[in-house]
Amino acid sequence: MDNQNVRKRGRGHFYFKSEKNETTTTNKAGPLTMESTDSKSLNKNAGLLTMESTDSKTLNKTAGLLTMESTDSKTLNKNAGLMTMEPTGSQKPKSTTHTSVEEEEAFQKIMEDAEKEERQEISESMEKLILEEDMEINEENEDEQMEEGEINESEWAQSSSNWENPNKEESFANKAFENQEWQEVKSKSAKKKEEIEAEAITASRKKRYVISQVQEKRSIAVIPNPEKLSMWPFAIEIPDELTTDLERPLFPGDSIFVNKFAWIEGRRQVTIDNWYRKDTGILSYQATALMIDVTHFPYWTTKTGIIVYLKKKEGKAALARVTAYGMERSGMLYAKQCRHGLDLSKTRLSEFVNLKLAPIPAGWMIGTNYIVPPGGSYRLGTEIMAKEGSQILACAEPFTERWRWLTKTGLPKVFPIDKDYTLKEMKLAEDIIAAALITAAENEEVGRMETSYFGVVKPIEDEKKRTFTINHIHEQKSHIAKVLSIWTKDTSVTAKTGFERKAFANGYIKEVFKCDRDDGLLQIEVNIILVPNEGLYEHDEDFEAMTHGMLTIIQVAETPGGYRDQADTFGLHTPTQLIKEEKSPRTEILKALFGRPGTDDSVVGGDIPKELECVKSLNEEQQNTLSNWLHEGRGRLHYQQAPPGTGKTRLAAACIAAALKKDPKIAVLATANSNLPVSKLIDESAQINLGSEMLAFFASTARIRYGDQILLLKEHQLENKIKGEFVEKLEGSEKRDVTDYLAHIKDKPRHTKERKVGEIYLAREFKNAIFGTIYMCLGIPRAHVSTTHLIIDEVTQTSFSMMVHLLCKLPLVRSVLLTGDVRQLGTHLKELPEVIQSGYGLESVTDQMENCERVSVTILERCYRSHPIITECFNYSSYEKHDERVIAAVPASKRTGLTKLGINLPVNNVPLILLNIRGTIEQDSASYSLSSPEQTEAAIIIAKALEHRDPQGVAIICLYTYQCEKIRERLYQENLQVSVNSVDAFQSREHRLIILVTTSTKSPGSAARADASDFLKDSRRATVALSRAQSGLIIIADFEAIREGETWRRFITAAKQHTPFVDERYLEVMENEEPTRDSNGILNDLKGRSIEVKVEEVKLIRGGELRTGRGQIICNRCGNPGHLARDCRRR
């Protein structure tokens, strides 16, 4: 198919274009003309409609004048404009007012019938309808002149729109009007009121408009049915002076009737390019209302919300963004919308405010500071569609109630939930948490829409013709950084012909590349896999057209079961309603989580089934956890603090086995926030022979990302449970869904319906132990509604809001075990607006449990993961300072992966290497992340030495993603099979040998020092990084730089008791077959000198006085940079 054959199709974008001459032609002014002998001709130009043929009747209507000239055919001229135009000698008739649109719809129906039948007499009803329309003339377009003094909202609108300006004056398509003396009515803001009144257009019927946006001196209303614009403007200005006699000002959501207005010079032509001014955030209105009737003030609901954005600028009115439950997204609040003493200039970010919310019909689109109706093409692509019951901000009032809980700065605080909250205060806290969740949902959804790709999708040659490439090109680093954070490898994507269309293809991101350009722009190349959706022939057509150049929208797919579902739980006050009205174990668990007293305050456990082999191996602290889990009383919530390697996952599996031993009828849901800990739970449970009682669910993304690991768990997955006889018993659509699932699960996992098929299976079969992520299981009702016992692993990564939301979905739950480590990473909040990152319940649920006396707690201490020296070091760095401890539970003789590997260690039998590489810093222009070229090369040298001695035993983890990218590039060049991950991605994992690259340096002139410093001070991230190794840990760092973080500093202090700092000379002697050591047992360099770098010398590195760690690798044989002595040509 040739790209030249693309033309516009009814469904949306460009499709096939015929090279044949069409019977219709379009000129610059937009008229469409069809002429033929003895037939009807339709000429439509800015509202002009002409039907001409030989032997015709001519119906000419202008402002109420009806002229009929007959020569055996019909000519109908309908001008849908509103301007009053008086021909010479004519007399203006009285107008007729109408208040509904039924007549317009009837007129369209009659027009369709008229086109189908020739020589049909025009009926009286049609004449009546024509007479009810006013005449409109064509006016030339001029440059749009926006009035000064508007508020600039560049934070939400960065770029400007261009107005179309065709300078050529077009004549009327209907020749009968050309010799008439017409007066074109125009108005400018600078004209006097009398002049505007003289030029006003009085409509023969009123038209309903809805207030879309308020500004400092006006409101802007939009027409509810833009597909029937006819003679009316899309957006119209309502000056404030028109509303002075009303009982209150106009606010968004109000409806009005307009019956007198004036077009604004140069703005008559509204297009998809000029309907909204992105540079000012203002709707571009085409006319000014001169007379209105208020028709409807909607019923408002009052919700307490929060200020999530505040802008104050001297000399200008303050403006804010506010949000509350019931809104689909935050709303712009101008000073004009503040009532009863609310003063934005005196408010602060995060303050409570009472919002008046107006209803908005489902299907309307809600923008950053406006609303637009469905059915039109006026969109930015970042609007959120209103649902049934959605509301928008009308106005705001002060929050006058007393709130007892404040931050140190005097701002209200709702989280953690205080045990002394009254029920009324709990409900208010739920409202505020719901508002924060709405803001989080908006941030996620708008980010997905803002980074949508619209353009040509280029096919990449492959066997199945399913691989494509697209390029995000932009001048702003912030936009490209957002693209990189959202468009990540393995993320699902969809392909559409329009923003409101259903996807015709689905797929996922295969690779993401950053490309260098010479023009200063930033470019991200993305390779994607796309497959057409099944079921409709149109999908195949659209997919084929896309491959041949059709303009296509590619979007990252929506995440199911996220913030909005949680917002509903809190906004509808489900937790407080359950606590107040329901008497059940679930209620007692909720009370415990909210810190409230209950009917069972006991925290002691009971006997455990010690005859089970998996129970016999548990230590005392682990047995205490099991005892609490089994003896739930009237409802048990138990937290297990489990430092790295203390066997929490194996204990969770033992808890499941023991609970089933006690009561074979229970239903256990074992879950986590991500797939990796879930897969470990399944593996440990399988090892204690839970067998056929297990059922595991995995999303398609997990099957791709963790394919090898998940493949090992195949026996317990859904596809292994639904074969043979089970499928034969099914009928109809259920059988088809299951059959399709089995057919595609291996080669097309993206096209399988795990949730739907899981629901079909569980409707017929019961399984005692179900495994899956929280999001997955919430999408399968029968996977959780029967749950009696709940286990959540890595619970620090589960938010308080998600925990409460999940409990409210488990009506039969009796016992809950939460296991994790509060010293490790919590929920990921970095991508959310800073204002909601703290204090609104989006933080880890463990932050709440510190205030909950009824939550029973056990603390594990024995570490079964790491070499005793490594355990000692991270215990001192991360746990002792909190009066906790971690004790090595395995001897050094069982952790010899590095000490017996065959390389020279700085100190024999000490599996720690502290390699001081100062280096330089490079910053990624797109993501702002950092890397150090010198530390990259050091990591590659060490990885090469270790990998060929212990294949698959080495992993590299980095603090910065850009460092990961650079190391992967070098590993690929060296053909080394070593995994590289960021620290954040490596939580819940461990490896035999870990190379930890820290990147940060105090080298003079290095970039991003402030950000790096803050990054190093994150004690939770440092704890994860330092506790992943089983047998050996190599840290590559500028140790003076990382000392800025307390956790790093304490680890270094402990490690220095066992091994010294070494410099790059160590890389030369690491594999030396005849090493020498000094009197203290420290490895010597090739010249027989100790490779140790004294602490004082490390401090001096900052001034560059030592060659050691100076910023690049130095050869100790020739003294030149860039290579080591072993590679030196000077022998």
Q: How many other C-beta atoms lie within 10 A of the C-beta of residue 378?
A: 23
- pLDDT at residue 69 in the model: 37
Mean pLDDT of the chain: 79
Query: 700 forms bridges with which residues in the sheet?
Result: none
Mean pLDDT of 24-29: 35
The alpha carbon dihedral of 235, 237, 243, 249 has a sign of positive
- pLDDT at residue 21 in the model: 37
Q: List strand residue ranges (DSSP E) for 642-756, in order.
A: 668-672, 694-696
In 854-907, which ranges are continuous DSSP H helix?
Answer: 868-878
Q: List strand residue ranges (DSSP E) for 654-716, in order.
A: 668-672, 694-696
- pLDDT at residue 761 in the model: 93
Q: Which of 270-279, 532-541, 766-775, 925-934 ranks highest by mean pLDDT?
A: 766-775
pLDDT bin (cut points 50, 70, 90) of residue 56 is very low
Residue 769 CA to residue 784 CA, distance in Å, equals 11
Helix, strand, coil shares, percent, the chain, to 5: 30, 25, 45
Nearest to 450 by CA among 396, 541, 372, 381: 381
The alpha carbon dihedral of 565, 571, 575, 581 has a sign of negative
pLDDT bin (cut points 50, 70, 90) of residue 699 is confident
Please tell me whether the peptide bond between 416 and the residue prior to it is cis, using omega within 30 degrees of 0.
Answer: yes
Residue 448 CA to residue 455 CA, distance in Å, equals 16
- What does DSSP say about strands 668-672 and 694-696: parallel, antiparallel, or unpaired? unpaired
> For residues 862 and 891, is the Cβ–Cβ distance under 8 A?
no
- pLDDT at residue 1013 in the model: 65
> For residues 266 and 216, is the Cβ–Cβ distance under 8 A?
no
pLDDT tens-digit series, residues 239-264: 999 998 888 999 999 999 998 999 99
Question: Is 697 a residue whose pLDDT tops 60?
Answer: yes
How many Cα atoms sit within 13 Å of 699 on the Cβ side? 22
Q: How many other C-beta atoms lie within 10 A of the C-beta of residue 447?
A: 16
- pLDDT at residue 1012 in the model: 54
Q: Which helix (H) or strand (E) holds 998?
A: none
- More confident call, 1013 vs 662: 662
- pLDDT at residue 932 in the model: 94
Question: Is 486 a residue whose pLDDT tops 70?
Answer: yes
Q: What percent of the chain has pLDDT over 70?
A: 76
Dihedral angle of Cα 680, 683, 684, 685, to the nearest 10 degrees: 120
Question: What DSSP state is assigned to residue 749?
Answer: G
> For residues 473 and 365, is the Cβ–Cβ distance under 8 A?
no
Identify the weakest region by mean pLDDT among 40-44, 282-286, 570-574: 40-44
Q: Which helix (H) or strand (E) holds 974?
A: helix 961-974
Write b or e for each residue in 926-958: b if 16 or more Cβ atoms lie within 10 A of its Cβ, otherwise e: bbbbbbbbbbbbbbbbbbbbbbeebeebbbbbb
> For residues 935 and 963, is the Cβ–Cβ distance under 8 A?
yes
Residue whose tokens read 């971690």 = 886
Residue 571 CA to residue 841 CA, distance in Å, equals 13
Residue 253 CA to residue 386 CA, distance in Å, equals 13
Residue 731 CA to residue 9 CA, distance in Å, equals 39
pLDDT bin (cut points 50, 70, 90) of residue 1124 is low
Residue 519 CA to residue 421 CA, distance in Å, equals 59
- pLDDT at residue 469 in the model: 93
Residue 743 CA to residue 734 CA, distance in Å, equals 14
Nearest to 628 by CA among 648, 603, 609: 603
Question: Can you give the C-alpha Rg of the chain in angstroms?
Answer: 35
pLDDT tens-digit series, residues 58-89: 333 333 333 333 334 333 333 333 333 333 33
Identify the weakest region by mean pLDDT among 70-79, 328-337, 573-582: 70-79
- pLDDT at residue 363 in the model: 92
pLDDT bin (cut points 50, 70, 90) of residue 560 is low
pLDDT tens-digit series, residues 635-675: 889 999 999 999 999 999 999 999 999 899 999 999 999 88
Query: 958 forms bridges with which residues in the sheet?
Result: 982, 997
> For residues 1125 and 1086, is the Cβ–Cβ distance under 8 A?
yes
The alpha carbon dihedral of 279, 282, 283, 289 has a sign of negative
- What does DSSP say about strands 48-50 and 73-79: parallel, antiparallel, or unpaired? antiparallel
Mean pLDDT of 465-485: 88
Region of residue 465 (left: phi > 0; alpha: psi -120 to 50; beta: else): left
Which tokens in the block code for residue 326? 């019931």
Nearest to 1086 by CA among 1131, 1043, 1029, 1049: 1131
Question: Is 112 a residue whose pLDDT tops 90?
Answer: no
In 582-674, which ranges are continuous DSSP H helix?
Answer: 585-593, 613-616, 620-630, 648-662
- pLDDT at residue 43 in the model: 35
**Can you give 776-845 as a three-state secondary structure string?**
HHHCCHHHCCCCCEEEECCHHHCEHHHHHHHHCCCCCCCEEEEEECCCCCCCCCCCCCHHHCCCCCCCEC
Query: 45 forms bridges with which residues in the sheet?
Result: 48
Question: Is 169 a residue whose pLDDT tops 50?
Answer: no
- pLDDT at residue 59 in the model: 34
pLDDT bin (cut points 50, 70, 90) of residue 942 is very high
- pLDDT at residue 603 in the model: 52
Question: Is 598 a residue whose pLDDT tops 90?
Answer: no
Q: Maximum Cα–Cα distance for the chain, whole Å?
A: 121
Question: Is 1066 a residue whose pLDDT tops 70?
Answer: yes
DSSP string of 914-939? EEE-----EE-TTT--EE-HHHHHHH
- Cα 72 to Cα 53, 119, 177, 178, 934: the distances in Å are 9, 8, 21, 24, 91
Question: Is 714 a residue whose pLDDT tops 90?
Answer: no
Region of residue 549 (left: phi > 0; alpha: psi -120 to 50; beta: else): left
pTM of the predicted protein model: 0.79
Q: What's the length of the chain? A: 1131
Long-range contacts of 120-124 (CB under 8 A, 24+ apart): 120/74, 122/57, 122/59, 122/74, 122/76
CATH numbers and ranges of domains, the chain: 31-131 (no CATH), 140-164+182-400 (no CATH), 450-556 (2.40.30), 574-714+766-863 (3.40.50.300), 890-1127 (3.40.50.300)
Identify the weakest region by mean pLDDT among 455-464, 748-757, 1010-1019: 1010-1019
Nearby residues of 1088 by Cβ (< 8 Å), 6 or more positions away:
1076
Question: Is 108 a residue whose pLDDT tops 70?
Answer: no
> For residues 1113 and 1122, is the Cβ–Cβ distance under 8 A?
yes
Nearest to 935 by CA among 963, 896, 968, 904: 963
Residue 860 CA to residue 858 CA, distance in Å, equals 7
- pLDDT at residue 704 in the model: 74
Question: What DSSP state is assigned to residue 764?
Answer: T
Nearby residues of 952 by Cβ (< 8 Å), 6 or more positions away:
977
Question: Is 793 a residue whose pLDDT tops 90?
Answer: yes
Question: Is 35 a residue whose pLDDT tops 70?
Answer: no
Dihedral angle of Cα 477, 479, 482, 486, to the nearest 10 degrees: -130
Mean pLDDT of 819-847: 92
The alpha carbon dihedral of 850, 853, 857, 861 has a sign of positive
Nearest to 932 by CA among 957, 962, 903: 962
Question: Is 765 a residue whose pLDDT tops 80?
Answer: yes
pLDDT bin (cut points 50, 70, 90) of residue 342 is very high
Q: Torsions phi, psi of 214, nearest 5?
A: -110, 145
- pLDDT at residue 690 in the model: 78
Residue 981 CA to residue 958 CA, distance in Å, equals 6
- More confident call, 736 vs 189: 736
Q: Which of 139-143, 191-195, 344-348, 1054-1058 ranks highest by mean pLDDT?
A: 1054-1058
Question: Is 163 a residue whose pLDDT tops 70?
Answer: no
- Cα 772 to Cα 566, 633, 670, 673, 706: the distances in Å are 19, 27, 7, 9, 14
Q: Which amino acid is at 752?
A: T
Nearest to 558 by CA among 659, 444, 658: 444
Residue 77 CA to residue 67 CA, distance in Å, equals 10
Residue 958 CA to residue 998 CA, distance in Å, equals 6
Residue 752 CA to residue 734 CA, distance in Å, equals 13
- Cα 674 to Cα 444, 654, 705, 988: the distances in Å are 18, 21, 12, 10
Question: Is 52 a residue whose pLDDT tops 60?
Answer: no
